[in-house]
Structure 1
Amino acid sequence: MKHATATFQTPNASRYLQQLCKHFGHKVPTTFTASKGRITFPFGECELSASETALTMRASAGAFKLRKLERVITDHLARFAFRETPTLTWQRTS
């Protein structure tokens, strides 16, 4: 299992966390509160954490699926946070 983390500096972190989880919840299992969330895709998982100033996302997937998971989360966040134009840089760890 490989991991990658990205942080988006925003005062709207809780709103985006909940929006992502509700959106994906129509298709895959999700759990969330105002400050923590988890989205379980068939190809990996993303844990989300919201503070007053940032949304942190930790993706976990097999080596060949991690990029797909990063892309799915990045693309959807970009749509939801279009007024803030998020730029995510995923930092990979093992």
Structure 2
Amino acid sequence: MLSATANFHTEHGSRYLQQLCKHFAHKIDVTFDERHGECRFSCGTAVLDADAGVLRIRTIAPDAAQLEETRDVIETHLMRFAFREPAVLEWVPTNPPANEAGTS
């Protein structure tokens, strides 16, 4: 499995977490509360955690294409919901590509 993370710096992290989860719950399996949410898409899973001043997003998928699709779905919806806040998500891979794993 591949994963990537991004932080969205905002004072409204819990609001956006809940808004995203409620939105997606109409079509996919979602669990959430005020501080933690999980959205299980066919392409991958998005894990959302709201802390003071930041919404942390982790996406997990079986391959690079599905990871990108999962990231795109979360990012485009978050940008729509948070249109009043200037934001750019910088996604950071949280595990190396298979050809780099175990190399020095």
Over alpha carbons, which structure has the higher Rg? Answer: 2
Q: Residue 69 of structure 1 aligns with which residue? A: 70
Q: Residue 15 of structure 1 aligns with which residue? A: 15
Deviation at 1:11, TM superposition (A): 0.2
TM-score relative to the length of structure 2 = 0.88
**Which blocks of at least 5 consecutive residues in structure 2 are unaligned?**
96-104
Question: Is it true that 1:93 corresponds to 2:62 in the alignment?
Answer: no
**Runs of 4+ deviating beyond 2 Å:** none
CA RMSD of aligned residues (A): 0.7
Deviation at 1:85, TM superposition (A): 2.8
| Aligned pairs for 1:2-81 within 5 A | 2-63=2-63, 64-81=65-82
Give secondary structure in 1 for the equivalent of 2:26: coil
Give secondary structure in 2 for the equivalent of 1:65: helix
Give secondary structure in 1 for the equivalent of 2:39: strand
Distance in 1 of aligned mates of 2:66 and 2:43: 6
Pairs aligned (count): 94
Q: Residue 102 of structure 2 aligns with which residue? A: none
Distance in 1 of aligned mates of 2:80 and 2:57: 16
Answer yes or no: is the 8 Å Cα contact 1:77–1:86 preserved in 2: no
Distance in 2 of aligned mates of 1:34 and 1:81: 17
Give the letter for the 2:85 counterpart: E
TM-score relative to the length of structure 1 = 0.97
Name the one with the larger strand percent.
Answer: 1
